[in-house]
Amino acid sequence: MAGKRKPKDTEERCPRTDPEAETLCEPGTHSERLYYPEVPPDEWHPKKRIEKMREAGADRFEIEAAEYDYAEGDITHGKQLSRGLTPQEEGHGQSQMILAVCTVCRQKREIDQAPSPDRLVEAKDQEARFGGTNQIRNNRRMAEQNRDVTYKIPESQLHQRRTDTLREFARVVGIPSKS
C-alpha cells in the first residue's frame, strides 16, 4: 500500500487483549518484547513524568531511581519511565506502564524503566526478594538475549549477599537514599 509503512518496534502498540492461550510459558522462558506507553505531551519531559509518578503514588525508591537516572542522563524522555494511573485516570485512563510482553503466550509484566528497547532497569528497595523469583528468571532471560539489565538498589543494600544472584546476569547499582 502506497504511503503506509510498518511502524518501528517502539511505535507499535502493546496488544491489550490476550489471545486464548492453552498454556503460559514458564518463568524464565518468555521471549519478551518491550512496549512503551502513549505518554501525554505534558509528560514528555522526564521531570514532568516524575511529578506524575508521585501523583500516581509510585514507590518512593522508584521515584528516587528515576530522579537519579534523569540526573545521570540515562532518562531523556518521559516514555522511558513506567508509572501507575493517577486517581483522576483510574477507571478511564490508558495504561502508563512500560510492559514486557511475551511474543508466544502474551503474558505481560511491568518494567520500571526502559532507556531503550534493549535496556531495562528495575528499581528495588526491599528487604525481601528483589522482585520475586519469576521476575529474576524473566530478567535473566532478557540478559541471555543480549539485553542490558540493571537493578538499582539503595546503597545500603549494595553489599548484601543476596545481591550476588542479581550480579550473575545484571548490573547492580547503588543509589543514595534521600530518606
Report the chain (179 residues): mean pLDDT per 10 consecutive residues.
38 47 80 93 97 94 95 97 92 86 91 95 73 83 93 89 86 82
- For residues 28 and 140, the answer to whether their CB atoms sit within 8 Å is yes
Q: How high is the pLDDT of residue 177?
A: 73
Reference 64, options 165, 155, 127; nearest CA is 155
Give the pLDDT confidence score for residue 110 in this predicted structure: 93
Quick check: 9 and 114 in contact, CB under 8 A? Answer: no
Q: According to the model, what pLDDT value does residue 19 have?
A: 52
Q: What is the pLDDT of residue 20?
A: 55
The predicted pLDDT at position 76 comes to 97
Predicted local distance difference test score (pLDDT) of residue 133: 80
pLDDT the model gives residue 130: 56
Q: Report strand pairing: 148-154 vs 171-175.
A: parallel
| Helix and strand numbers, DSSP H then E, in the chain | 4, 7
